[in-house]
Amino acid sequence: MRIHVLQLIVGDKLLSDSYNHVGLHLLSAGTIVDVSDIRMLNRHNIEYVDIAPRLTEEPVQVPAARQAQLNSFHDAIEGIKEIFRSAEQGSSLSNEFIESAFNPLVESFEEEKDVVSLLLSLNSQDDYTFQHSVQVGMLSFYIAKWMNKSCQEALYIGKTGYLHDIGKCRISRDILDKPGKLTNDEYSEIQKHTIYGYDIIRKTLQDDTLATVALQHHERMDGNGYPLRKKSTEIHSYSRIVSVADVYSAMISNRVYQEKRDLLFVLKELHRMSFGQLDPKITQVFIRHMIPNFIGKKVSLSDGRAGTIVMTNPSDFFRPLININHEFVDLSQLSGVEITSIAV
């Protein structure tokens, strides 16, 4: 029978080989899966597997709350696909349709406290652009809530994140999916997605703020972003929120030209970017709320060892205390050893 990876239990037997999106062989047919196998499948974004029928008469179900989250996540992806198709064809966008696709997503995840587990468990084999749009919408909503915005304002900010890349519907797939380095002309073209998005939203939704975020989400605080090289407070506050969500989502995702990085490494990179590129206050809010979520997560280290994060390090958030075979290892005291992957 074919089931979602989240429905797997220890002892299930695989009926077919499992491969990731680049064709790497993960598990062979006949494997009796254990906890580490299930985590690996999840880490490689495998969604469904074929297993032998279970002896128990009672099918194992995904908890109702998690299933609702999965459903709303995939509905939001299908929604953004339709929005892109409409924009590409020159049709007017519908606020009602956008909100019917995005709002249930927020309602499903609004009470979720562990955003790290959420990001680790909710993955899709869909086109990067679509999954990225959903992630940026979700993360923008969370950041706004963490900044004590009202529910209504946070929902609207999430919507700006959901639509931020709509201009990519006018960029050639050959450029968007190119695995190698872009030429100068190709890079100049892909930068135009911000202008295209601004134009699409202004003409079809008549919403200047949504359009502005689509235009500005690649601007940087030091003035070295694009398309207008705006800086600091010249950049709309919502654009600065979406920029943080955009960078984080991009770096934790597999793209045609870049392997995803682990979530903790990316937080460290955001911290670096907060000194000039990203809004420092917004970035610090994001990091401060994400870091506690890593306690209890399983990690693999660059030296081949594996363990569990038990405490964040107050002097270095990004090099925590790890329990390895009942021994505590302080990464802040081990230069040269890095976390290479994190799992629930």
Assign 222 a pLDDT band (cuts: 50, 70, 90): very high
Q: How many domains does the chain have?
A: 3
Could you tell me if 251 and 269 are in contact, meaning their C-beta atoms sit under 8 angstroms apart? yes
The CATH number given to whatever domain includes residue 209 is: 1.10.3210.10
**Residue 123 DSSP code:** -
Assign 57 a pLDDT band (cuts: 50, 70, 90): very low
Same domain membership, residue 33 and residue 103 = no
Query: Which residues span the domain enclosing 33?
Result: 2-50
Same domain membership, residue 241 and residue 144 = yes
Q: What is the pLDDT of residue 86?
A: 95
- 215, part of any domain: yes
- Which tokens in the block code for residue 201? 């939203």
In the chain, what's the furthest Cα-to-Cα distance? 63
Same domain membership, residue 158 and residue 247 = yes
Same domain membership, residue 206 and residue 308 = no
For the stretch 309-329, pLDDT in tens is: 998 887 788 899 999 988 999
Same domain membership, residue 312 and residue 206 = no
The β-bridge partners of 301 are 339
* Percentage of residues of the chain with pLDDT beyond 70: 89
Q: What is the pLDDT of residue 33?
A: 83
Strand, coil or helix: 165:
coil
Give rounded-to-5 percent helix, strand, coil for the chain: 50, 15, 35
Please state the rounded mean pLDDT for residues 187-195: 97
The β-bridge partners of 309 are 322
Assign 307 a pLDDT band (cuts: 50, 70, 90): very high
- 214, part of any domain: yes
Q: Is the pLDDT of residue 279 over 90?
A: yes
* Percentage of residues of the chain with pLDDT beyond 90: 51
The CATH number given to whatever domain includes residue 11 is: 3.90.105
Q: What is the pLDDT of residue 276?
A: 94
Q: What is the pLDDT of residue 122?
A: 64
Same domain membership, residue 269 and residue 149 = yes
Strand, coil or helix: 312:
strand
Q: Is the pLDDT of residue 215 over 90?
A: yes
Strand, coil or helix: 284:
helix
Which of 111-125, 197-211, 248-262 is least confident? Answer: 111-125
- 55, part of any domain: no
Could you tell me if 278 and 244 are in contact, meaning their C-beta atoms sit under 8 angstroms apart? yes
This prediction has a pTM of 0.78
Q: What is the pLDDT of residue 197?
A: 98
Could you tell me if 73 and 134 are in contact, meaning their C-beta atoms sit under 8 angstroms apart? yes
Same domain membership, residue 262 and residue 130 = yes
Q: How far are the Cα atoms of 116, 147, 312 from residue 296, in angstroms, in the given order?
A: 11, 25, 10
- Residue 168: active-site member: yes
State the pairing for strand pair 48-50/316-324.
Answer: unpaired
Cβ-Cβ contacts under 8 Å for 42 (sequence gap 6 or more): 5, 6, 120, 121, 123, 343, 344
Answer with the one of 247, 276, 291 that is the final residue of a domain. Answer: 291
Same domain membership, residue 312 and residue 300 = yes
Please state the rounded mean pLDDT for residues 207-235: 97
Q: What is the pLDDT of residue 60?
A: 47
Q: How far are the Cα atoms of 57, 287, 315, 316, 323 from residue 311, in angstroms, in the given order?
A: 41, 15, 12, 11, 9
The β-bridge partners of 330 are 321
State the pairing for strand pair 18-19/25-27.
Answer: antiparallel
For the stretch 173-188, pLDDT in tens is: 999 988 888 999 999 9
Answer with the one of 265, 291, 317 that is the final residue of a domain. Answer: 291
The catalytically annotated residue of 168, 230, 268, 297 is 168
